[in-house]
Amino acid sequence: MISLIEILVEIGLLRADFKHLKKTQQQQALTGNKTPLKKYLFQPTMIVFYALIGISIIVAILVVAGADKRSLKKTVTEMEEIKVSLNEWRKIFQRYPVSLEKLTEGKPLKKDWLTDEWGNNYNYKTTEDGMNYTISSFGPDRIPGNSDDIN
């Protein structure tokens, strides 16, 4: 539903465009020169349009940048939850599970623990005796062994 304010703004912009057009036509009649394209591109409505496009681009960039930070934070939080669950497993079975699949077996709500926020499987390994483990994520670039990996 279009609000009264939107209608009034639109009427105001149309009026400003009409005034701009009339002024441009009067100048053309006086000088005999055609108006350059530049003057048409800077009508009041077009200026508002350009501003909205610019604001939209800035917001999109901020949303995308924020999504990466949220994904990183969620992966770190999820890995901490996995570590707590792994330690609980060790208390019960005196060793760590051989895989994350074994840890999440029978727990449908924990199935998302198998992959990080970027869709990669967590890199989980235990020692042969099952007394220690390592868990990591390859991070947003999905390439192992570089600075964005999460341990």
Q: Taking the CB of residue 120, how many other CB atoms lie within 10 A of it?
A: 17
Distance separating alpha carbons of residues 138 and 145, to the nearest angstrom: 7
Domain boundaries, the chain: 34-145
Q: What is the dihedral of CA 76, 80, 86, 89, to 10 degrees?
A: -140
What is the arithmetic mean of pLDDT over 35-62? 78
User: Whole-angstrom Cα distance, residue 21 to residue 121?
Assistant: 61
Percent of the residues in the chain that have a pLDDT greater than 90, as a whole number? 3
The CATH architecture to which 34-145 belongs is 2-Layer Sandwich (3.30)
Cα–Cα distance measured from residue 79 to residue 139, given in angstroms and rounded to the nearest whole number: 12
What number is the average pLDDT over the span 136-150?
78
Average pLDDT over residues 22-33: 76
The whole-model pTM stands at 0.55
What proportion of the chain, given as a percentage, has pLDDT over 70?
87
Q: What is the pLDDT of residue 40?
A: 65
Q: Which residues partner with 110 through β-bridges?
A: none
